[in-house]
Chains A and B, each alone.
Chain A
Amino acid sequence: MANIEFSSIEHVYNANLDILYSYGVSIGFTEHIVMDAIHDVFFKLCTQYSSLSEIDNLKSYLFRSLRNRLIDIKRTNREFAELSDREVDDLPFQIRVTIEDDLIKKEDAREIKQQIEAFLSLLTPRQREVIYLRYMMEYSYEEVAEIMQISVLATRNLVSRSLAKLKDKTLIFYLLISLAI
């Protein structure tokens, strides 16, 4: 079987490096491990396929492979870190918030950032991961499910489940509106 040549994946590599890197770092690994894992993902891609057209959805393939590779690395390191199976599979997904908008004053930006972070901190790591893939990467539920290897329904549940806190507030809001009318 022929391999994919380096020259034909170079542009794929360059086009996807930063988003894969962002994903890996957000999953909770150091930049060095993430870069190694990205190397492994592309190496495997080149040596296991003979053409890029054999892969249905290249972008979600890359994300899924990177995720699996990082979990593998974590499992291998488990012995040193004394982690349980559960801890290994629970990726501590964190989302860093960056506001670089000239139109927003520094103190306002800080406040918005704090609000977003406060909201994200109420979520589970898995919920954060779905939001990251849905919102930042603009993946469909089907693609997110494929990357995280969970069912589409579970993916939907992860984001559609409201925080209890909100429900109360909504009720108050409805109440206020009905009173106003």
Chain B
Amino acid sequence: MIKLEILRYLKDERFIEWMLKPTDELDSYWEVFAAAHPEEVAHIEQAKAYFKRIKLGHYQTTAQQRTETLNALHKSLNAHRRKKQIRRIAYGVVACAIIVVLSLTYFYGYMHSSSELTETADYIVGSELESESILLITGGTSTVFDSDVAIAINQDQSVSVSSGDSETRTIAIDEDTTNKLIVPYGKRSQVTLADGSRVWLNSGSSLEFPSSFEKGEREVSLTGEMYIEVASNTDKPFYVYTPHYRVNVYGTAFNVSTYRDSPSSVVLVEGSIALQSQQQDGVLLMPNEQAIFSPSTGGFEKRKVDPALLTSWKDGYLTFEDTPISEALKQIGRYYNLSFNFGEHVSLQGMTCTGKIILSDNVNNVMTALSLISGMAYKMEEGLIYMYNNNDE
């Protein structure tokens, strides 16, 4: 216990004031005091040390407050970034238009300009966007992952998450909660649902799914794109809700794509499914058929396709067959979190590409592959990607 000689100072008004609010007067007061009582100097020093341990105006946040506010901050920053991206693309379009006008007026007479990029107005500019994290929301808590994840719902009310190089984590969930997995552009994930159905979630997608399928029906909601292999169970029909329509599943594998900037479509690989929008009910799809949703009519158009072309992303490559270059760039942009600005002027708009592109970790390899199959050239400079027509040079 602290000695009485020291305690005396801690209770002393002048000592307290000296500690908290030292003034010249107080300094000299204690100097004189110490000079008069040299035997007290050691006690005073110890009293000072004790006083330092007293906490003033000290409050502590709880662990729950910390994680909640940190998540809230993360969320608002992501929302802000998305808004900004939209603005950036809009600026980009304007910038492109300005470049065209400048190029046409200024460079018209200067065919032998030194910069190879400004020789033609026909190029598409792409820029890398800041990377976002994958977000898993289970009940009231959300968890953030920096690299692609594989998630499996277990029977014992928990979720196993394996992410990149780190160990598998287990998160407890309630039986009756709905979970949400948000995968930003540039990332991918896999989910094994409670009934064993397997989902490949593509970049820029989110999937809502329950912790268990106790009820009579199995229901999930999707925005973006997924490939799903539904576990067969005739007692419990499986429904996929998208912003515009519902897919009724009868044990099967298919691909649903509902990106806002591309036509929404469903491709059936095997089994059978029916589509149901507000305007059109019971559109039955056969294997190797694709149904494209038409926002103007609210109905579907069917056509024969090779499903491998449209589902190869889940196996790590993209397949194009007479695909417009703009559509190919959209797909690559989503996968690598790049933003491409398409000017309306560009003759590139009519160009198509045919071939396979392996989705490697290096964007450079992908762009090289795209140049090869499209006959275009590309250049990367300071985080921007320029695509231009090779033949124009």
Contacts and interface: CB of A to CB of B under 8 A. Distances in A.
Interface stretch (A53-61, A70-78, A97-105, A144-152): A97-105
B80 interface: yes
Instruction: Give the dominant DSSP class at A's interface.
Output: helix
A163 interface: yes
Contact of B72 (A2, A39, A112, A174): A39
B60 interface: yes
Interface string B5-25: 001001111101101111111
B11 A160 contact: no
B57 A96 contact: yes
A46 B77 contact: yes
A81 B77 CA distance: 32
Contact of B21 (A14, A26, A159): A159
Contacts of A35: 61, 65, 69
Contacts of B379: none
A98 B16 contact: no
Interface residues of B, number: 48
Interface in A131-181: 131-132, 135-136, 159-163, 166-167, 169-170, 173-174, 177, 180
Given A3-B130, A18-B61, A21-B61, A104 B56 contact: no
B23 A162 contact: yes
B32 interface: yes
Given A6-B74, A96-B56, A17 B36 contact: no
Contacts of A166: 14, 17, 25-26
Given A119-B17, A162-B25, A39 B73 contact: yes
B2 A103 contact: yes
B66 interface: yes
Contacts of B70: 10, 13-14
A108 to B, nearest CB: 6
Interface in B164-202: none
A27 to B, nearest CB: 9
B112 interface: no
A42 B11 contact: no
Interface size class of A (residues with CB under 8 A): 35 or more
B21 A116 contact: no
Contacts of B20: 116, 119-120, 131, 135
Given A18-B61, A95-B57, A116-B16, A43 B76 contact: yes
A103 B70 CA distance: 37
A121 interface: no
B71 to A, nearest CB: 10
Interface of B is mostly: helix
B1 interface: yes
A38 B68 CA distance: 12
Interface stretch (B47-55, B206-214, B227-235, B385-393): B47-55
Given A3-B130, A108-B2, A98 B55 contact: yes
Interface in B334-391: none
B270 to A, nearest CB: 41
Given A3-B81, A47-B80, A135-B56, A105 B1 contact: yes
B55 A100 contact: yes
A63 interface: no
Nearest to B21: A159
A177 B35 CA distance: 11
Contact of B16 (A18, A96, A119, A132): A119
Interface string B64-98: 01100110111011101100100000000000000
Given A21-B61, A47-B80, A97-B54, 7 more contacts: A25-B59, A31-B65, A108-B11, A112-B54, A119-B20, A132-B57, A166-B26
Interface of A: 2-3, 5-7, 10, 13-14, 17-18, 21-23, 25-26, 31, 35, 38-39, 42-43, 46-47, 94-101, 103-105, 108, 111-112, 115-116, 118-120, 123, 127, 131-132, 135-136, 159-163, 166-167, 169-170, 173-174, 177, 180
6 contacts: A22-B60, A39-B69, A43-B76, A101-B54, A108-B11, A160-B23
Interface of B: 1-2, 7, 10-14, 16-17, 19-26, 29, 32-33, 36, 50, 53-61, 65-66, 69-70, 72-74, 76-78, 80-81, 84, 130, 133, 146
